[in-house]
């Protein structure tokens, strides 16, 4: 699911869930008993508040996960918190208690029916099996058959949701594939245009994207959507060079200070050019900050250390390696062994020390790709 859509869906999902839980408990345990005069009003026990305490505690956690762009984890934490707390509330309230166990909650019906919204098979099984197992375990511990009806209801609703989930996933997969193909075509067309302007960079963007994606995978912190967006951003990391005059971009000798200052504008220009492109804007920092340095001596903003976004730091290593191992207008390519040595020398100055260590692991793969790359290839 697109991160922006995930964020909006999770927000409304939590809001509706909290409203249903509060409204149902308020009606079933407080309003309805006053209508039926033979029933006492109030929760079965004080343990019933456990669910509310847990769900209230989840709210600040959700804000934190949203701030660090890990919205996809919120729904998992929410459902695990609800299942565990409601299970314990049932057991503590009715075990060795003369009160008759009451099962079922409208919130659980909503949770199961809303599963197709997330297009996530893992979450589907967590919710549907989680609720079912909760009732089975509760029935065994309390020795009651009252749980049979909610188990049957949840099973039927889960089957319905599963069919809808599969259909939605198929539709989204088809749309996503079509969109990816179009975006790839546009990106490669833009790269081809840039390389006509600067033939010495032919294939540079493609190689940097390949190297950077392998290094990102070595770190292992990114979702498939994040990797896809990162790959496209790497392909376009030098897009801002279309704004650089040919006489500077193609200059065979050393640049003057004034000319270098013009070159240094390309990350900001590139980021501005693609800031509204869906599928790339979430990795816009890669384009803007791929020339920042760990020691704060890079450009455009002289960011230092972890102030530099992680994926921008990743692309910086890949960009430097390919720049050194490919020919430019002002020098010949250097051997990969020399590029390796210089990357290691840049540990803690130009490059993130943790990424240099990860680079050592992917270096053999990079060398193999470099050796097999068709250097006269046109994208």
Quick: pLDDT tens for 110-132. Answer: 999 999 988 899 999 999 999 99
Within the chain, which residues score under 50 in pLDDT?
1, 378-379
Is the same domain home to 267 and 211?
A: yes
Q: What domain range includes position 365?
A: 198-372
Is the same domain home to 203 and 142?
A: no
Residue 379 in domain: no
**DSSP letters of 276-344?**
T-TTTGGGHHHHHHTT--TTS--SSS---GGGS-HHHHHHHHHHHHHHHHS-BTTBPPPPHHHHHHHHH
Q: What is the pLDDT of residue 116?
A: 93
Q: What is the pLDDT of residue 98?
A: 56
Q: What is the pLDDT of residue 1?
A: 47
Q: What is the pLDDT of residue 353?
A: 95
Is the same domain home to 213 and 296?
A: yes
Q: What is the pLDDT of residue 99?
A: 61
214 CB-near residues (< 8 Å, 6+ apart): 362, 365, 366
Q: How far is CA 85 from the centre of its chain?
A: 28
Structure tokens belonging to residue 57: 């505690």
Q: What is the pLDDT of residue 378?
A: 47
Is the same domain home to 22 and 124?
A: yes
Q: What is the CATH number of the domain that holds 207?
A: 1.10.3210.10
Residue 189 in domain: no
Nearest alpha carbon to residue 158 among 196, 182, 131: 131
Instruction: Give the whole-angstrom CA distance, residue 22 versus residue 19.
Output: 5
Nearest alpha carbon to residue 328 among 245, 270, 236, 255: 255
Provide the sign of the torsion angle of the four alpha carbons 288, 290, 291, 293, taken in this order. positive
Residue 191 in domain: no
Is the same domain home to 225 and 338?
A: yes
Residue 187 in domain: no
Residue 365 in domain: yes
Is the same domain home to 145 and 234?
A: no
Structure tokens belonging to residue 253: 């000798």
CB atoms within 10 A of CB 104: 16
Residue 293: is it exposed, middle or buried by C-beta count within 10 angstroms (0-12/13-18/19+)? buried
Is the same domain home to 145 and 249?
A: no
Q: How far is CA 135 from CA 17, 97, 108, 114, 368, in A?
A: 19, 18, 11, 20, 55
251 φ/ψ angles, rounded to the nearest 5 degrees: -60, 125
Give me the number of domains the chain comprises.
2
Q: Give this prediction's pTM.
A: 0.65
Is the same domain home to 68 and 161?
A: yes
Is the same domain home to 305 and 227?
A: yes
Residue 233 in domain: yes
Residue 364 in domain: yes
Is the same domain home to 25 and 140?
A: yes
Helix (H) or strand (E) holding 350: none
Is the same domain home to 26 and 164?
A: yes
Residue 347 in domain: yes
Out of 156, 172, 188, pick the residue that ends a domain: 172
């Amino acid at each position: 699911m697109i991160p922006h859509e995930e964020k909006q869906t999770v927000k409304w999902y939590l809001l509706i869930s909290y409203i249903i839980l509060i409204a149902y408990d308020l009606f079933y345990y407080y309003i309805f008993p006053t209508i039926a005069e033979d029933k006492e009003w109030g929760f079965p026990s004080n343990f019933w508040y456990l669910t509310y305490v847990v769900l209230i505690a989840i709210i600040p956690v959700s804000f934190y996960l949203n701030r660090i762009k890990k919205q996809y984890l919120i729904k998992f934490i929410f459902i695990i918190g609800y299942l565990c707390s409601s299970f314990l509330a049932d057991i503590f309230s009715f075990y060795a208690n003369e009160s008759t166990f009451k099962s079922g909650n409208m919130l659980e019906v909503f949770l199961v029916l809303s599963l197709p919204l997330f297009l996530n098979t893992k979450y589907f099984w967590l919710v549907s099996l989680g609720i079912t197992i909760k009732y089975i375990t509760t029935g065994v511990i309390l020795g009651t058959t009252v749980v049979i009806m909610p188990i049957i209801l949840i099973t039927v609703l889960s089957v319905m949701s599963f069919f809808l989930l599969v259909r939605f996933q198929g539709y989204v997969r088809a749309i996503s594939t079509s969109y990816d193909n179009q975006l790839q075509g546009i990106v490669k067309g833009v790269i081809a245009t840039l390389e006509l302007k600067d033939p010495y960079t032919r294939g540079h963007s493609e190689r940097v994207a390949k190297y950077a994606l392998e290094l990102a995978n070595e770190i292992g912190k990114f979702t498939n959507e994040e990797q896809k967006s990162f790959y496209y951003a790497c392909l376009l990391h030098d897009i801002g060079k279309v704004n650089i005059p040919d006489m500077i971009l193609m200059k065979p000798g050393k640049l003057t200070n004034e000319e270098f200052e013009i070159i240094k504008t390309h990350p900001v220009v590139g980021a501005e050019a693609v800031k509204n492109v869906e599928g790339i804007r979430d990795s816009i920092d890669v384009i803007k900050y791929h020339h920042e340095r760990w020691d704060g001596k890079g450009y455009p903003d002289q960011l230092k250390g972890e102030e530099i976004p992680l994926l921008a730091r990743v692309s910086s290593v890949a960009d430097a390696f390919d720049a050194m191992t490919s020919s430019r207008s002002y020098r010949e390519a250097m051997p990969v062994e020399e590029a390796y040595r210089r990357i290691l020398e840049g540990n803690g100055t130009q490059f993130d020390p943790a990424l240099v260590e990860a680079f050592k692991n992917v270096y053999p793969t990079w060398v193999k790709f470099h050796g097999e790359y068709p250097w006269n290839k046109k994208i």
